[in-house]
Amino acid sequence: MASGEGAPPRLRPIDPFWGGGEFMTRPKRKRPTAGADVRPGEDEAASSTLRARSPIRSILIVGGGSAGWMAAAAFINSFREGVSIALVESEEIGTVGVGEATIPAIRSFNRKLRLNEADFVRATGATFKLGIEFVDWGRKKHRYFHPFGRFGTEFDIVSMEQYWLKLRSEGSAPNLEDLSLAAMAASRGRFAPPAKQGLGATFDYAYHFDAGLYAAYLRQYSESRGVVRHEGRIVDVEQDPTSGLVRSIKLADGREVEADLFIDCSGFRALLIEGAMKSGFEDWSHWLPCDRALAVPTARVAGGMTPFTRSTAHEAGWQWRIPLQHRTGNGHVFVSALTSEDEAAKRLLDHVDGEPLTEPRLLKFKAGRRKPWVGNVVALGLAAGFLEPLESTSLYLVSSGILRLFSFFPTRDFDSQTIDRFNKESRIEWENARDFLVLHYHANEREDSELWRSCVSFDPPETLKERMDEFRSAGRLHYFPPEVFARQSWLAVQVGQFVEPLAYHPLVDARPHVNASEYLNRQSSRIRQLSESMPLHEHFIERHCRSDFAATA
């Protein structure tokens, strides 16, 4: 999909790894109920060192939407007994969701819930996503693709991309996207699940789906397994006057709901983590200046169900396109100081490919994050912070936060060391995600508008500067866990945004017996064949997981 790319500089003579883990699996042996006595005959002193003291007996999730119901589903799937799980939400308060694009980690989340993929796709009007196409980002009239998965397969002790960098500088390398099965299939509008092994297993995929339908799907899942939903608007929060821990929330009708652990999924309001616990907000808008978005769904059009998200840069921001089975999600993310809402709405509607189904809806936000765990409150989703949806990180950060909470699950003592470790890992992960987004803005060669000129001139975060400097100096791609994106995602975007290395790994020249050109060209040819053998994306959906929503669209 790349076009308009200039000749790279000649270079002189350094595995994708997804961070994170999975939810804890259900125990094979029955757990004792919370607060149960030691079993008869068991030494009490020895046993007490092996069991959690003051175990959590109740969890209250404040807020619904995707984040709230993802948390509810994960908790009810993980706790068999001894812990009551409830969620409170108000139909008076809408959710922010405007249609979601995701990254492949969502599949792991769904699998741990034992969701049937075809049923999930039907229920949410979902389509499949092989990556993101970026239009006019690095330069005007240039496009590149960020694919999910690997570029080809490794064939030596030196990473494949190092051989590719050398051949590219000599003008003899295939295009990088020709080495990605995800990119090649996406460019042809094709999709099939990955193979078990070989080149057919080198790609990954995610989904586009309706966020409201996903929340409803998980709500049904959660309530059928025992999650109790309370309908109502929260009007007060009661805290312990000594410890500051939240005791209960009070609803507008006078009901009070108590819990040991509170999960704040109240969106931008951050009702508990900020309103009660005063977590504080770290502002990142000097690196990510967009502060508004206009969202509008459009009717689906023939041939418009592409297996990828499209992001198109404009003068004062960028536009997303997310195809679902029954409609297309569109939005314009922009800097309010550089363009008016009317101008942004016109730009958005001028660049959609279907009939608008509603008027554009305005969202206001600021990029940044909060300390996600304070006392007995843990924030997820927008309550924890906001990163614009440029690389579809929102639901990943929700699922990762849930996973991390399982790893550091507290007792009612709420040990400070546990909380500090959780917050430290969260900070690193959010900063890594932030840096990946800032890379798109900072590494550009556009000079046609104030936004892009200012993004080149600012000092990037030190962590991003270190990555870019290492790639420029020696083509190195380092991994800093906990990471959101694999090394080869960083390769795709840095190459796509014209971050050019000056060197490659010195071992490349020390291994002349490796015929890298033959390997890479053979893989490129095979990848093209495999992509052409896949069914069209729309045909795959029609055959395996067509949604009822598509039938009525």
Could you give the CA distance from residue 279 to residue 318 in angstroms, rounded to a whole number? 31
Q: Which residues pair with 487 in a beta bridge?
A: none
Name every residue whose Cβ is closer than 8 Å to that of residue 386 and which is 6 or more positions away in sequence. 268, 365, 366, 367, 368, 369
Single-letter code of the amino acid located at 413: D
Place of tokens 């996600």: 372
Q: What are residue 502's phi and psi, to 5 degrees?
A: -100, -10
Q: SS3 for 228?
A: strand
Rg, Å, the chain Cα set: 24
Under DSSP, the state recorded for 40 is T
Residue 129 annotated to the active site = yes
- 3-state secondary structure (DSSP) of residue 261: strand
Q: Where are the beta strands (DSSP E) in 54-110?
A: 58-62, 84-89, 100-101
Q: Is the CB of residue 91 less than 8 Å from the CB of residue 123?
A: no
Q: Which of 129, 141, 250, 424 is catalytic?
A: 129
107: phi then psi, degrees, rounded to nearest 5: -70, -40
User: Which ranges of 193-317 does DSSP label H, i.e. alpha helix?
Assistant: 211-224
Neighbouring residues of 515: CB distance < 8 A, sequence distance ≥ 6: none
Q: d(Cα 378, Cα 71) in Å, to the nearest integer? A: 11
Q: Is residue 100 a contact partner of residue 295, using CB atoms and an 8 Å limit?
A: no
Nearest in space to 132 (alpha carbons), one of 258, 270, 320, 316: 320
The angle, 0 to 180 degrees and rounded to 10, between the axes of the packed helices 105-112 and 394-407 is 50
CA nearest neighbour of 65 among 100, 108, 32? 100
Q: What are the start-end ranges of the E strands in 35-79?
A: 58-62
Please give the structure tokens belonging to residue 475: 């083509």
List active site positions.
129
